Structure 1
């Protein structure tokens, strides 16, 4: 990564940072002043999306339902499955708070990023101390994909939409399984809301 010059902000993204146990200590050792941005979404939807992505690459994987449970009869959730584990946000955040104060971390709502991209990016710009140059005028909604697209500039015909690997149709998941997952995540979600001071409304 190139060195940042005066007046510049260097950004880097890796989805696995938030859930990697060693990441907070390493980033803190590099720079304790680093500002962190974490995009989170409903952990149940996120788990199904994770499964859908894997299914698109490996069609022969077991069903979502069979991977979700250690024991279907007792309803015991298999927290060793990464698709489930990632959504236990409170657990991962505890590790980050050992190295960074909560005011150095911005949590962006994945749902609001789709429904109100300008609003969420406005929060990001404020958090980074930037002038709000990205506004509602920079977006339009792609009904086919179900996601907003970003215009290069106001009045420009050039735009950037999410790639073909985004917006896949999710498989039908047994609603009893979905409800069991919601029950499983509820206490973790409540703790996460308390830790961040923000209710993401996932329940």
Structure 2
């Protein structure tokens, strides 16, 4: 980590930290007063996104439906598949709570980050003890990507948008598989809500999807 001068905050981003077993202990040894920001999204959507990224690099891999099950007939989910295991957030959070109190953690909703980026960034700035500099005027929604992009009002530079590897169209997944995954994740989600004190309402997405399929 670079040296941080008085009045500065040094930030570093590595998504794999949250799911790496030895990361909490090592980070606690290095900087026990560190503030941790964890961005989470519906684990089913996250798994499909993960698969989509892998598919773009390895088009020969099995279908999502095949990889998601140890035995689909028996309904046995393959939780050892990394795309699914990462979404068991409660399991990973347990490791971090052995070293850090919740007061040093801030959880960002990936869904709300898309629909209200300024609101979520406002909470992040509050958590870090910063003045709310990043506001609504810094964002616009890119319809092509399906995500908000960051504007820089102070200069005329090109807006910062997600790279080519982001915003890919997800493959169509068997609705029955999606339903089974929602059912698999539900108890872990409930545990995660209880641990964090936040309800991310991922079950509402499943309910909404079920109603839509019946219309």
Q: TM-score, normalized by length of structure 2?
A: 0.93
Distance 1:37 1:144 in 2: 28
What count of residue pairs does the alignment treat as equivalent? 203
Distance 2:8 2:83 in 1: 36
Matched, 1:10 2:6: no
Larger mean Cα displacement after TM superposition, 28-37 or 158-167: 158-167
Distance 1:111 1:155 in 2: 29
Equivalent residue for 1:40?
40
Distance 1:29 1:125 in 2: 25
Equivalent residue for 1:129?
129
Dislocated runs of 4+, deviation >6 Å = none
Equivalent residue for 1:149?
149
Larger mean Cα displacement after TM superposition, 26-35 or 157-166: 157-166
Equivalent residue for 1:103?
103
Equivalent residue for 1:116?
116
Residues 180-195 of structure 1 mapped to structure 2, 5 A cutoff:
180-195=180-195
Residue 144 of structure 1 deviates from its aligned partner by 1.0
CA contact (8 A) 1:32 1:100 kept: yes
Gaps of 5+ in 1: none
Deviations 1:140-160 (A, max 9, x none): 111111111100126846311
Deviations 1:11-52 (A, max 9, x none): 001010000000000000001100000000000000000000
Q: Tell me the secondary structure at the aligned position of residue 16 of structure 1.
A: helix
Q: For the aligned residues, what is the CA RMSD? A: 1.0
Gaps of 5+ in 2: 204-215
Distance 1:18 1:157 in 2: 33
